[in-house]
Structure 1
Amino acid sequence: MGNENSLREQKILSYTGFAAKANKIVYGKRGLRNYIRSFQRKKVILIPKDTGSRVKLDVIKHCQIFDVPYIELNYTKSDLAKTLGKQNISVVGITDENIIEGILKTIQ
């Protein structure tokens, strides 16, 4: 069962890499809040396991208020940042609806 979860998370990171190459990633406090509140139909937020508790609680609270799905990953912030080709990324949103659909199918 643990191996299955690991494969799912690797798929999610792959989708995230595609989104980054297509420039369909949102990050940063202001960017994420605007994204969560936006009128885009499909949304998803990815939260690495070592994200600070204040940031994590704030993002989860906003996701719950605006009914946005979020995924708490077993990967670290540095794993996520490496996938995106960035540094110091703790939470990301994806704006491409096809990639979001793929991620949401992966976790079901």
Structure 2
Amino acid sequence: MGNEYSLREQKILSYMGFAAKANKIVYGKQGLRNYIRSFQKKKVILIPRDTGSRVKLDVIKHCEIFDVPYIELNSPKSILAKALGKQNISVVGITDENIIEGILKTFQ
């Protein structure tokens, strides 16, 4: 990653790695919609910079309707996917409240 991405984003990506190892991530259109609508108290959605505009607008619209915080990253999808040990992932939600808290504190 080098200095290409901010220290803050590197920290967020490391939290994402912890979430992936703990199997506490949500992705996929239906998975994310269910997550956004769920009754879980703390939530956060992460959107890489090169996510398609239709997907990005759809996710942001749902986040605003259900008052879910979202973070638009400067990192591309490939960096997010690598941090998660997956391929071709564009938007991710986190289900672990401690990791969510860490991400939100880092982002403030």
**Structure 1: runs of 5 or more not aligned:** none
The alignment's C-alpha RMSD in Å is 1.0
User: What residue is the counterpart of 1:98 in the other structure?
Assistant: 98
For these two proteins, the number of residue pairs brought into alignment is: 105
Q: Which secondary structure does the structure 1 equivalent of 2:35 belong to?
A: helix
Q: Cα deviations across residues 30-75 of structure 1 (Å, max 9, x unaligned)?
A: 0000000000000000000000000000000000000000000000
The amino acid of 2:39's aligned partner reads F
Q: Tell me the percent identity.
A: 90
Structure 2 residue runs of 5 or longer lacking an equivalent are: none
Taking structure 1 as the reference length, the TM-score comes to: 0.95
Aligned twin of 1:36: 36
- In the alignment, which residue of structure 2 is the partner of 1:17? 17
2: CA distance, partners of 1:82 / 1:7: 17
Structure 1, residues 54-100: CA drift from partner, whole Å, max 9, x if none? 00000000000000000000000010001111101000000000000
TM-score, reference length from structure 2: 0.95
Question: Matched residue of 2:62: which SS?
Answer: helix
For the pair 1:54 / 2:49, whether they are aligned, the reply is no
* Residue 67 of structure 1 pairs with residue 90 of structure 2: no
- SS of the residue 2:49 aligns to: coil
Question: What is the distance in 1 between the residues matched to 2:46 and 2:59?
Answer: 10
Cα deviation for residue 18 of structure 1 reads 0.2
Separation of aligned partners in 2, 1:107 and 1:80: 16
